[in-house]
Structure 1
C-alpha cells in the first residue's frame, strides 16, 4: 500500500479484517507499507499490521512478493504509480478520484485495458457503493421497484472548512488535489447516483465557488502536521460545487458538494424518485434506507424505514446479528473482499478504471460549465478539450 495517511488507515482496516469475516478464495498478506517519512511509516505499519516498510514506491512495486498495489496517495501521484504498477504486472486498487485530470485518467484506463489482457485487474475505490444500504438501494432500483426513474437529488455535505482560519492542506491545492469539493466528495455523489440508478450522466450544468480565498500556512513544510503561522496562502480549489445533470434517460438530477455546510459532518445523501416509488439514503444514518411504495393504498403510503442489517441484505450476513450496526470502516472490508474475489475468479472488478474515467469526465464537464457561465456541457465527448488541458496552454 502506497500512502500512510487517513486513507491508509481505512484501507489497512479493510485488508486486515476482510479475510477474518469473509471466506475469501485468496488470503491477502499485508506485506509492505510505503510512505514519505520513514519513522512515521514504521509507526503506522506497526499500528496497522504491515510486515515491512519502504520510502521508495518504485522499488516496492517491483518486489516479487507483491501481487497487489493499493494507491492511497493524493491525486497528483495516482497516474504515475498506477501506470508503473500495471506495467510491473501488479493488480491495482486506486483511491478516487482516479486522477487529477482527464488525460491522466485516459492513460490509466488504457493501461488497465492492456493489463487486463495479461490477467491483471484494476479497480477504483468508490467505497460507498459497498455500504449495505447503498447496495440494497441499487438492488431495489434494478428489480424495478421504483419504476421509471424521474428525478434524483444527490448531495455530499461537510463543514470541516467552515472556519475561515482553518489552515491550508494539500486538499486545498489544485496541483495536488485536482479540485476541491467537486473532486473530493462530489465524485462520490456522482458515482453513487450512477451506481444506484444504473444510468450515467450525459450532460451537466454547474457552478464552482471558492468562499475563503486565503488560509494560514502550516508551519510544517509537508502541510500534513504542525501549527498555522502568520503566513497565508491561496486556496486554489473550489469550496462549493452546485450542478444539474441529465441522466441517459433524460431524467434530471441535482448535485451539491460542499465543505462549508455548517453542522453537517459527513452527509452523503441521495434520493431517487420513480413512477412506482422512491428511496432515500443518508450516510450519517448509514444502516438505514427509506423506501416509499407509491402502489400501496392511499391510507398506507409514506416512507418506511428499513434497517439494513438482515442476513439477506448485501454483505450484512458476514457480520453481526440483526440490528447490530455497521460503520464507516466496514465498506473498506467489503471493497477488499470484492477485489480479492474478482482477482481469484479472473473477473473484472467494478468500479473499473473506465468507470473512474467517466466520473473524471463528469467533473471536468462541471468545471468547464462553470468557466463558461454555467452552460450545458456534454460529458463523454472525447474530442472536447478538457479544462486542465486548456489551463495548461
Structure 2
C-alpha cells in the first residue's frame, strides 16, 4: 500500500488523480489532500471519499467554511458526525508546504503557480518521490530543484514527459540520440506568420482538440506551452537542447518519442487521457490495470507528424535560448509571457507581439545566480514590470 499526498486535488489533474486512487484503493492510502480553497464543496467530497489524515487549504481563512462543507456533504450522504472523517486542517501556503514535506511514498503536485514550486522544494528536501504536474517547479525553479533532487526523484505527470520517461526504459541513457516532443500545433497549425497578424482572442482560444483555460489555450496557440515543455524535458532528462525536437501531431495520440543511437524510435501512444500519465506518476515504476481505454484496433488511425515552422512560431526556439542561458532566464520567459497573454486577451496587444515582447524582455535580462526563492521572486517581479511597461506603450 503506497501512502500518497495529492496537492491541488480540486483542479483538473487533481480530480483525475482522485479518480485513479478511487479505482485502485488496494494500491493507495491517501495521507493528505491540499487545495487552494475556491472549491471547498468538492474538497469535502474528496475527504469523505478518501478519508485523509490531513487537509491543507492555501486560503488562511478557509477552515470554518471547509468544516461546514464537510458537514454538509456528510449530511447529504446521510452520515452522522461519528461516521465521517475529521482530518487535521492546515491553512495558508505554509500549511500546504508542511503537508508536502510529510514523510510519504509519493507526493503528486498538481498545484498551479508559484505555490507549487515551494511545495515541490519542500517535498524534494524531505526525500519524497514527487509526481510532478506543476510547470513552475521546473520552468521557474529548475536551478534550485536540480541542486537538491536525487536521480529519479521527480516523476513527470505531463503527458509528453511521462511518455518520454516510459520510452527511455527501452534503452540505456547513453544510447539516447534525441527526444521528440509532439504538439497539436494549436488552432493555427499550418499558417504562415503573415496570416497570424490579425488573430483575435476568440480565434486563439478555439483550440481544435482540447477545452482548456484561457492562458494555456493562448500558450498552445503561440506554442509557448511547447517551449516550456522543451525546457522541462531538458531539466528532467538531461538531454541537450539541440537534441530535443518538436513535431506537430494534431490527433494527440502519440504523446512523445525517443530516438536511440541505432536509429530506432520508441513511441508511447494511447487515446488522449491524462489519467495514464497520472497513474504512471503515482504507481511508478509499476503500471496499474484498467486506467483508461485502449485503442480499438479494428479502426484506422492517422498518426501524421509534421515539422514545426519556427518562423511562424518562434516560441520554441526562444525557449531553447532561455534554457541554455539559465540563471533565471526561464523565469523571465514565463513571467513576461503571462503579462503578454493578459494584454492580448484584453485586446491590448496583437497576437504576434506576445512572443516578440517576451523575446525583448528576455534580451534585456541580465542573468544572475539564483540562490533561493527570494532571488526568483525578484526576477519574476522585474520581468512582469518590464513586460507591463513595454506593452503599455503599444496599441493593437
Which TM-score tier does this pair reach, normalised by the shorter chain? 0.3 to 0.5
Which protein has the bigger strand share?
1
Higher-RCO chain (CA-CA 8 Å, sequence separation at least 6): 1
- TM-score (structure 1 length as normaliser): 0.45
